[in-house]
Structure 1
């Protein structure tokens, strides 16, 4: 079972300030017996009250992490006071010298000594390192063979902490340019009437010290030698054991807020090197101080070698500490809780407010987040695309199905804007369909999409024998009798928390064979409806999830989404809800880059058998010789578009391994109707024979393996018959409506 870990972060207390700051109370007058706690007394009181709280809650501390600046401008005594106070107060919370991790800050160095002088960290070393605490590798002081404690590991071996020294070059002196030292002769020459000895004295005692003061620099830097040592130390720590890896340093990686600090050397000079080190060594959490600003955020580090941008960045959590500023009520303490270790770590950071004598210690604000190692994702895992704009999501989904998700799982999550009643007639559909790389057409209205979706949702169809997996028949007449939509509607109406609002479109008794051969059933396998409450508006929204054993994204996915939305709207209306989010889960994602839309786009000639038999009859009347019928222009356009789409599907460059949409039943019925309506059987005979020949070719292809060989056999024959149909029907299609009015009257007269 995962065990929680607790770390107390102490940042920038700046103890024993050379110029003491104002206390919490504003004592404008001095009166005998009226005093207030010093900065150090306030800090100790806060620690004592925190200890009592932790004891009450049964919490032991695994470690204390001190990220520097116990001193204020190298004021003496801060380190000793802090160490002794921590050990005294938290002795019952499990804190000893050995589980304190300390790193120096820029105020903890002797600014009178140059960066190469090991005595710069004298007090830090005497208190923390010689006191057996965990300290960083120090330039000049340590070497590559250092065996001191530069790494902390908790008792449960679920996390480790590495301190880093970023203050080696803090408060140091820059080398003066040579021109400074050549100033004395020029000054002596220009100051005529002044004794040269006086000029030299002024130069040595006034000018040079001021110049040196100007050349002081507070530089944050981590040497390559220190990083090399740490890298070796990390490699020997057994990373395969999946410990949470934490780094503690004084300086920030990036500013924790938007406040600008305008000065030289404000950031770590070799920050890019440090960030690449953190990425390469898979550091999970960075703890720092220095800026006196609390924050909790994520930082993303991309590979610096100029490789592919498709490689995921390394994500780290960054914990920024505050400072001990009593007058502002600012605290240097943050309690870090680590949970879910080792497999699913989560970090919660609580600010511990400063105590006020006479009051209990309040709980501070807290933030938390996961630190799961996303860069350790299994290769070939699910690809997830999310968005609110179907046009953008469509383009991204097609690209993913072509590339990283090809042949694998692709999950698409759409949170579409809630539409008005009037808008719901227009189902969501990408403007650039069927070519996501083309310019949008400017119109999202596709009447044929609604007609196609409506056909797929028919509870009964004349094409059931040929296409036994029509979605509506499976949802409303499963196994010929069970209405799954009615069941889940009733369930969702009664229970707002149910996860059983499921309907299946696969019937094993009908779709499966004993050995799995010669099976043909829908890619759309399962649909689920589930309630969720809109956190902003408090509305009951009905989410819809569709599962597909395989899904083609260029042509099919937009139609699938439109169909899911249609079902979602129907069910939501029946259960007094509103349509929510739509999620499609494809176990095998594909993108066929041809213009042929695939079998999902059942040709209109076939669909008219169910949806508009009168239009099929009208078309037969036209082809039998009449020049005008009701809706004649619409029917002529539909016939022309049908021939064009079928001809496109038969172009060899448009081979679609998913199969191409072919008409069968509609063509056969059209041939029969022409035979019945025609007054000149000889003229109509060639047209009927051509229609039946094309239907036969299409049926043969549809029953084949639909592979490339079958397609190459079908395509030239289909092209031939389609061309012949275009030639035979062109005269009928080109007759004007004016001519047609007269012919229609004559036809009516003959019928009478």
Structure 2
């Protein structure tokens, strides 16, 4: 993908670091020529300085070919090689020679000192230690950091220490982490005697030389630290940036020599391997909303994210770390980086292009690396913004979705839950922490978990295309999916779209029918209609298989009780559409308003004894027969009577909850049993009393479903009383006949 031309909404930077150049030139041994000697062939190869110059020339060619400019050059320290000075001037001259035609003048160069750019042995916070750095970079007009002992305390010169991009959409802040680098560890009295120690230890010149080398290692320390005064200047600089930018977004980049965290697994055993006041620096980065940190020092090129926690419970600050390589044989393929930032100011995205030290005669393909480049967060944490929960583990995702929904009780917001299961099996179990009661799922001894069977029956009922309960629940999902407008099988249509067009976006099905759902009943009351609004299918391929993903939209979704049932239902639908042609893939639920209810599930909207009308009508006749006979006569009748009583108890428990009254009702099941009892019994007998009890339960249930706010309290109390009477009646069924 070619880069677009520079404009106010993008930036193109060149990041270089750890060049370690010298005036005299440094041999660059990137080939192994020491195994044999060939006369009259020059195997010396180029110097590091020559290779670096050629690499800048290749960058100039690339920019010319694509009509591009550079917004800045970012140098993160260590221009010098060990010992002699002058390499920094070599670097600056090469940069200007090659990159001036592309917009680079000294004011467009940000340079910070590295630990090798400091005058070794000089006292921290003095002009002497920055003498070479100032002469090369600052005196030329480059942007440099505030320097201890050089700049005045509290003097925050924005133009001196910060490079601001076009339109103020980006800014590069320079930081010095090397004030205590290459510093003597000796006190004045020890310094005068230090050089005499090797002679005291041995009279042999060779041993004296070794002793001196080892003692020199102890003589200096190389500490990375940001001073108190520089921290305050940096804070003031960022305040000035805030004032200058106003409400416009700005991408902030911090450049320093040392790392915040090691960019690879290489272990470096030394004193002061990390910034000593690192946590304060990380907190500063988060507080000032710095999105990118460019650094060197480790000679490892890597792009990776760090996440900074400032306060417990607050969102983590996400910062992109751009660690630069060096002009060394080990990292010559990533000697420097072209950094392209697009989408400014609100959706910044970073792409990097590694620039190698070139081989004569070979071109380099400047290919952008787009991995992990998105700087803006996936889910904003502002009030009411969508929250995303995702994962591979069913129980984990459920727990996190519940917590998210519970947190939204006072501030409802959309919730997106993404479940990436590893296989195409049905979801046959409820999550481990799904709200259970003995009455709901367990046998009388409380040891048998019947939740799997309950879930399977519930999913099957919601997916039936015909039902005797249509007048009460006219929005069953299976009917809407398979018999929409009485004759359209939307699942078959979606399957045909996928088979014909592959990765189409047209494979979807609606569960809302405006002709039915948006029409008011007599009296102005609108019909109830499903929360499940739409389902879409899409194909996704990996190296081996094609996967059918499922995305479902809900106008509102209760997470604690309903989400597991919804997901099990979606997997059922997935399997139906996928058949043997595709594997079932991911399931994503999108709830416009996520809800969390503490009430136990009242069979998730339709009680079991009502669903018997469709799924097990014989059980209703068994209950009626037991009532006629005065109790359960055999094991089959006891089992069915136990299920009947358990459902009534669970409904009574639900009706006690503030949010559960409207769903704690049963109508169709008791109504059918009452009709059967009335058809064969005397209305004045015990059989007739049983029928009256059930008819009262049905009447109150209908009242609860239609009650207005002013009737709600009375209706709920009547429901609780009717359920209690029905429970007493059901308990009597378990008394076996002699």
TM-score band w.r.t. shorter chain: 0.7 to 0.9
Q: CA deviation at 1:370?
A: 0.9
Summarize deviations over 1:355-413 as a string: whole Å, max 9, x none. 11233335478354111156965322011111222212112111111114752111111
Is 1:648 the equivalent of 2:653? yes
| Equivalent in the alignment of 1:166 | 177
Partner Cα distance (2:594, 2:524) in 1: 22
Partner Cα distance (1:397, 1:571) in 2: 27
| Equivalent in the alignment of 1:416 | 421
| Equivalent in the alignment of 2:490 | 484
| Equivalent in the alignment of 2:571 | 565
Q: CA deviation at 1:645?
A: 1.4
Specify whether residues 443 and 42 from structure 1 end up closer, same or farther in structure 2 by C-alpha distance, changes over 3 A only.
farther
| Equivalent in the alignment of 2:305 | 298
Specify whether residues 413 and 208 from structure 1 end up closer, same or farther in structure 2 by C-alpha distance, changes over 3 A only.
closer
1:125-274 matches, cutoff 5 A: 125-143=134-152, 144-145=154-155, 147=157, 149-174=160-185, 176=187, 214-237=218-241, 238-239=244-245, 240-274=247-281
Partner Cα distance (1:330, 1:60) in 2: 23
Specify whether residues 584 and 233 from structure 1 end up closer, same or farther in structure 2 by C-alpha distance, changes over 3 A only.
same
- For 1:609, which of 594, 609, 613 is the aligned residue? 613
Partner Cα distance (1:442, 1:358) in 2: 77
| Equivalent in the alignment of 1:587 | 592
| Equivalent in the alignment of 2:104 | 95
Summarize deviations over 1:502-537 as a string: whole Å, max 9, x none. 222222232225799633423424222322223243
Partner secondary structure for residue 659 of structure 1? helix
Partner secondary structure for residue 480 of structure 2? helix
Q: CA deviation at 1:628?
A: 4.3
Contact 2:27–2:47 (8 Å) recurs in 1: no
Contact 1:598–1:658 (8 Å) recurs in 2: no
**Bigger mean CA deviation after superposition, 493-502 or 250-259:** 493-502
TM-score of the aligned structures, taking structure 2 as reference length = 0.87
| Equivalent in the alignment of 1:431 | 432
- Unaligned 5+ segments in structure 2 are 1-6, 204-208
| Equivalent in the alignment of 1:528 | 535
Is 1:360 the equivalent of 2:360? no
Contact 2:315–2:381 (8 Å) recurs in 1: no
Q: CA deviation at 1:331?
A: 4.5
Q: CA deviation at 1:261?
A: 0.7
1:15-30 matches, cutoff 5 A: 15-16=21-22, 20-28=26-34, 29=37
Structure whose alpha-carbon radius of gyration is higher = 1
| Equivalent in the alignment of 2:735 | 734
- For 1:343, which of 338, 341, 346 is the aligned residue? 346
Specify whether residues 702 and 211 from structure 1 end up closer, same or farther in structure 2 by C-alpha distance, changes over 3 A only.
same
Q: CA deviation at 1:3?
A: 4.1
Partner Cα distance (1:470, 1:210) in 2: 83
Summarize deviations over 1:458-496 as a string: whole Å, max 9, x none. 222222122222222322333444433333333233222
Partner Cα distance (1:81, 1:99) in 2: 18
Partner Cα distance (1:206, 1:611) in 2: 92
Specify whether residues 519 and 224 from structure 1 end up closer, same or farther in structure 2 by C-alpha distance, changes over 3 A only.
farther
Contact 2:641–2:730 (8 Å) recurs in 1: no
Contact 1:552–1:592 (8 Å) recurs in 2: yes
Partner secondary structure for residue 398 of structure 1? helix
Q: CA deviation at 1:681?
A: 6.6
| Equivalent in the alignment of 1:745 | none
Q: CA deviation at 1:61?
A: 1.5
Summarize deviations over 1:5-41 as a string: whole Å, max 9, x none. 2111111011129995552234444855614211211
Is 1:334 the equivalent of 2:337? yes
Contact 2:508–2:534 (8 Å) recurs in 1: yes
1:449-488 matches, cutoff 5 A: 449-488=455-494
Q: CA deviation at 1:701?
A: 1.1
Partner secondary structure for residue 370 of structure 1? coil
Partner secondary structure for residue 585 of structure 1? strand
Contact 1:435–1:554 (8 Å) recurs in 2: no
| Equivalent in the alignment of 2:206 | none
Specify whether residues 227 and 680 from structure 1 end up closer, same or farther in structure 2 by C-alpha distance, changes over 3 A only.
closer
- For 2:124, which of 115, 120, 128 is the aligned residue? 115
Partner secondary structure for residue 225 of structure 1? helix
Partner secondary structure for residue 120 of structure 1? helix
Is 1:682 the equivalent of 2:685? yes
| Equivalent in the alignment of 1:396 | 400
Contact 1:67–1:104 (8 Å) recurs in 2: yes
Partner Cα distance (2:80, 2:185) in 1: 23
Specify whether residues 24 and 183 from structure 1 end up closer, same or farther in structure 2 by C-alpha distance, changes over 3 A only.
closer
Specify whether residues 572 and 367 from structure 1 end up closer, same or farther in structure 2 by C-alpha distance, changes over 3 A only.
closer
**Bigger mean CA deviation after superposition, 35-44 or 323-332:** 323-332
Specify whether residues 222 and 339 from structure 1 end up closer, same or farther in structure 2 by C-alpha distance, changes over 3 A only.
same
Specify whether residues 242 and 702 from structure 1 end up closer, same or farther in structure 2 by C-alpha distance, changes over 3 A only.
same
Partner Cα distance (1:114, 1:218) in 2: 13
TM-score of the aligned structures, taking structure 1 as reference length = 0.86
Is 1:5 the equivalent of 2:11? yes
Is 1:552 the equivalent of 2:558? yes
Contact 2:115–2:181 (8 Å) recurs in 1: yes
Is 1:502 the equivalent of 2:503? no
Specify whether residues 281 and 479 from structure 1 end up closer, same or farther in structure 2 by C-alpha distance, changes over 3 A only.
same
Is 1:669 the equivalent of 2:672? yes
| Equivalent in the alignment of 1:747 | none
- For 2:290, which of 275, 283, 288 is the aligned residue? 283
Q: CA deviation at 1:559?
A: 1.5
| Equivalent in the alignment of 1:620 | 624
Partner Cα distance (2:148, 2:698) in 1: 85
Specify whether residues 711 and 660 from structure 1 end up closer, same or farther in structure 2 by C-alpha distance, changes over 3 A only.
farther
**Bigger mean CA deviation after superposition, 726-735 or 552-561:** 726-735
Partner Cα distance (1:337, 1:20) in 2: 31
Contact 1:48–1:89 (8 Å) recurs in 2: yes
Contact 1:176–1:215 (8 Å) recurs in 2: no
Partner Cα distance (1:177, 1:619) in 2: 101
The RMSD of aligned alpha carbons is 3.4
- For 2:583, which of 575, 578, 584 is the aligned residue? 578
Partner Cα distance (1:325, 1:104) in 2: 19
Specify whether residues 469 and 579 from structure 1 end up closer, same or farther in structure 2 by C-alpha distance, changes over 3 A only.
same
Specify whether residues 26 and 496 from structure 1 end up closer, same or farther in structure 2 by C-alpha distance, changes over 3 A only.
closer
Q: CA deviation at 1:334?
A: 1.1
Specify whether residues 341 and 517 from structure 1 end up closer, same or farther in structure 2 by C-alpha distance, changes over 3 A only.
farther
Partner secondary structure for residue 149 of structure 1? helix
Q: CA deviation at 1:732?
A: 3.6
Summarize deviations over 1:225-266 as a string: whole Å, max 9, x none. 112112212221234321211111111111111111111111
| Equivalent in the alignment of 1:105 | 114
Contact 1:620–1:677 (8 Å) recurs in 2: no
| Equivalent in the alignment of 2:3 | none
Specify whether residues 31 and 329 from structure 1 end up closer, same or farther in structure 2 by C-alpha distance, changes over 3 A only.
farther
Contact 2:481–2:489 (8 Å) recurs in 1: yes
Partner Cα distance (1:449, 1:2) in 2: 57
